[in-house]
Amino acid sequence: MYAVEMRGITKRFPGMIANDQIEFLVEKGEIHSLLGENGAGKTTLMKILFGLYQPDGGSIKINGNEIKHQTAVKAFEMGLGMVHQHFMLIDNMTVWENIVLGSEPGNFMIDRKKGKEIVKHLSEKYHFDLDVDAKISEISVGMKQRVEILKTLYRGAEIIILDEPTAVLTPLEVEQLLQILLEMKKEGKTIIFITHKLKETMAVSDHVTILRSGKSVEFLKTTETTEKELAALMVGYEIDMTLERKKVEKGETILSLQNVRLLPQAEKTVDLEIRAGEILGIAGVEGNGQQQLEEMIMGLEKVKCGKIFFKQEEITGMSVKERCKRGIGYIPSDRYKRAILPGFSLKDNYLLGNQYKDSYARKGMLNQEYIEKKTKELMEKFDVRAVNGDQLIGALSGGNQQKLVLSREVDKDPDLILACQPVRGLDIGAIKFIHNVLLELRNQGKAVLLISAELSDLFQLSDRIGVLYKGEMMSLQETEKYTTESISLLMAGKKGV
């Protein structure tokens, strides 16, 4: 008997079929990876299982019991829990308060002591190492992920769905999470692991179901496959992730920071420069000054100490608009907040930042013919997969949204691209595409400042890597001088490596 049995599942949205006759079978007590590119239908399928969407066809059984008109309430009652990709936590409440919220112990009054004790016991049982009294705003992204998992365990979940749980975690946090999943498996829990990351799939899963373009294309035992085979099944063809970094003669200094203090508590200021024809990578655990570096370079945060120069001109006090005009392209770490308008069309999103240019608008009127032509041209060139330019960008997968942002910025022909977490949460095909574009920009003599939590990206792409810890530059040197171990220690604040 399967813990989860989904047969012939179909789900339609206007203009597309998200799930097309999908078969998905999960055995009790296993870790089962649901693998596929962005937009393959993984999250939609799991939202159907959890009762957030209703299918247009097919059947669902949980522990042998057929489910009709599934709801989230029914899912909880049947022992299902779901950890969403975007955390659903209240920042000004404590860890234990977030976990018991909605199912607080006690009759007429909340038994705070009991609630805290239950959460503490669960945290210790699964080796979560959580400070149950800490506020959510005070803990790391990795700890927030554990809080979300503990919420499902507190409610008695036996089948736990994790939607891209490692998308925002550091390498060390990923390793810790995978160990937690294996511990949960030992306890008899059934785990559905939605991902597009092959190493993680191979490390912990027992079986893999692969979705492609809304269809289930393969069901495999993990020990009987390879990363290469899984990659080919995901995208429909063999994909080579190796990158060829050509030797490029470095040119003039494009961007320099002089005595810039990234964090108020940092004892030392940061100095760095990036030249034409190089990729400078910035590594570090989230929260160590990367966001401040990004925002200060773009003029989104005021520089209180130090100066920033772009091609020998001081831009410290300039507006975002002026910096972009001078030749800075920007891929923000949070594309939903700073790069796209989800409720607007692809055409409107291509227009962002270009509305002042004569080719896009004249005498206060938008040149719709040119905008449409340009949108079509960039969609084809950068493989942005959508029905047409009138489709809402919010309906696209993360990879296609990011490719649109990248194409818009590259088309401006900037001298510097500030690429912040450019492949976070993306699938293998989109990652390969974006890597190639960034390398090509470098080869053309552009400067690329790459801020990434993915060490593999930094090692593959960067000519030099700087490591941030608590707002200070722990090390800045050629990439080949680092090892994964040495850079991980620097990210943890350990010098002398």
Q: What is the CATH number of the domain that holds 284?
A: 3.40.50.300
The average pLDDT across 289-306 equals 94
At residue 307, what are phi and psi to the nearest 5 degrees? -135, 150
Query: Which is higher by pLDDT, 246 or 289?
Result: 289
pLDDT higher than threshold 90 for residue 444: yes
What's the number of CA atoms in the CB half-sphere (13 Å) around residue 443?
12
The secondary structure of residue 496, as a DSSP letter, is -
**Four-CA torsion 47, 52, 53, 58, nearest 10 degrees:** 60
Domain count along the chain = 2
* pLDDT score at 170: 67
172 lies in some domain: yes
Question: Domain check: are 415 and 484 in the same one?
Answer: yes
- For residue 244, tell me if it sits in a domain: no
Res. 70 pLDDT band, cuts 50 70 90: confident
* Alpha-carbon distances of 122 from 126, 156, 362, rounded to whole Å: 6, 11, 63
- Ranking 39-43, 119-123, 260-264, 433-437 by mean pLDDT, the lowest is 39-43
What's phi and psi for 29, nearest 5 deg? 70, 20
pLDDT-wise least confident of 13-17, 23-27, 159-163, 457-461: 13-17
Write out pLDDT tens, residues 89-109.
898 999 999 999 888 888 778
Does one domain contain both 350 and 205? no
Distance between CA atoms of 441 and 245, rounded to whole angstroms? 12
Q: Are residues 202 and 276 in the same domain?
A: no
On whether residue 333 sits in a domain, the answer given is yes
Tell me whether residue 248 is in a domain: no
394 falls in which pLDDT band (50, 70, 90)?
A: confident
d(CA 76, CA 396): 29
pLDDT digits (tens, 9 = 90+) for 165-179: 887 676 777 888 899
**Are both 228 and 259 inside the same structural domain?**
no
Average pLDDT value for residue range 199-212: 94
14 and 64 belong to one structural domain: yes
Supply the pTM of this predicted model: 0.74
Report whether pLDDT(15) > 80: no
Token digits for 253? 């200094």
Work out the pLDDT band at 426, boundaries 50, 70, 90.
Answer: confident
Contacts of 371 (CB under 8 A, 6+ apart): 347, 350, 351, 360
pLDDT in tens, 211-261: 998 999 999 999 999 998 998 998 888 777 777 778 888 999 999 999 999
Percent over 90 (pLDDT), the chain: 60
- Evaluate if residue 199 carries a pLDDT over 60: yes
Do 160 and 81 contact (CB within 8 A), yes or no?
A: yes
pLDDT at 497: 47
Contacts of 271 (CB under 8 A, 6+ apart): 256, 257, 258, 259, 260, 473
Q: Give the range among 16-20, 427-431, 463-467, 473-477 with minimum mean pLDDT.
A: 427-431
Residue 440 has pLDDT above 60, yes or no: yes
Tokens found for residue 23: 């078969």
Same domain, 202 and 350: no
What is the residue range of 229's domain?
2-235
User: Do 217 and 297 share a domain, yes or no?
Assistant: no
Predicted confidence (pLDDT) at residue 337 exceeds the cutoff of 60: yes
> Would the pLDDT of 336 be above 90?
no
Rounded to the nearest integer, the mean pLDDT of the chain is 90
